[in-house]
Amino acid sequence: MQDVRQPRSRTDEGAFLSHRLAWIGSVLLALGSPLIGGAVAASDEPSPFPELGAEYERDVRPLIARYCLGCHSTAESQGDLDLERFRTLKEVRGGTKTWLKVAEQVDAGEMVTRPLRFAGKELVINYSTSAGGSVRVEIEDESGQPLPDFTLADSRNLVGDAIEQQVRWTKGSDVSSLTDKSVRLKFVMQDADLFAIQFRQ
C-alpha cells in the first residue's frame, strides 16, 4: 500500500485548522474596509490589531506551518500560493485578497493536491463526516481538468467515519488505468475532515 499522507490519530485538529483559516478572513473583514485597500499607517491601526496579531502568531501560524507549507511555502508555492511569507498579521493584512480566497476555499471544503503519480488499483481515504456531511473525490489531469469517469458528478458521496474507505465513482473504484500518470486529486467536503489518502492494490 502506498501512503500519500500519514494516517490519523482520532483528533479534531483538521476542524480546528479550518476554523482558524476561516477566522483570518473574518478578522480582515471585521477590521474594516481600509485593510482591503492595502497598507495603513501605523497610527491608523485599529485598536484590536495588536491582540489579533498576537493570536495569529501564537495560534494560526504554527498550524499553517504544519498543514499548509508542504505545498504552499516560498519554495513550493503550489497554485501560486505562498503562505510562508505571511509571518505577522500585518503582512497578512497586506495580502488580504489571498487570505479571503483561502477562507472561501476552506468554507467551501475544497482541497486539491499537488500533481502526483501512484501505483495501485484503488484509492482509500481516512476520513470523518457529520451525519449530514459528505466527501466527494475528483481525479484531474496535471492542468486541473477533470478526467472522464472520475469527475465530481461521477463520485459517490461518502458519509461516516472510516480509517480505510474505498472511493468509488459511477463505473467503480478501479483507478489502475491512471497508474504512473501525473494527476491531481480534488476533494470536496461538507462538514468533514480528511486525515489521509492511500493507493493500494
Instruction: State whether CATH 3.30.420 applies to domain 111-200.
Output: no
Q: Say what the pLDDT of residue 113 is.
A: 83
Beta strands in the chain (DSSP E): 2-3, 110-112, 122-141, 161-166, 183-200
pLDDT tens digits for 117-147?
A: 999 999 999 999 999 999 999 999 998 899 9
Place of cell 499553517: 64
DSSP state of 147: P
Q: Which residue has the higher pLDDT, 75 or 102?
A: 75
pLDDT tens digits for 106-121?
A: 667 788 887 889 999 9
Q: Say what the pLDDT of residue 27 is.
A: 53
SS (HEC) of 102-135: HHHHHHHCEEECCCECCCCCEEEEEEEEEEEEEE
Q: Say what the pLDDT of residue 20 is.
A: 54
Average pLDDT over residues 75-87: 80
Question: What are the domain boundaries of the chain?
Answer: 9-107, 111-200
Q: Which residues contact 75 (CB under 8 A, 6 or more apart)?
A: none
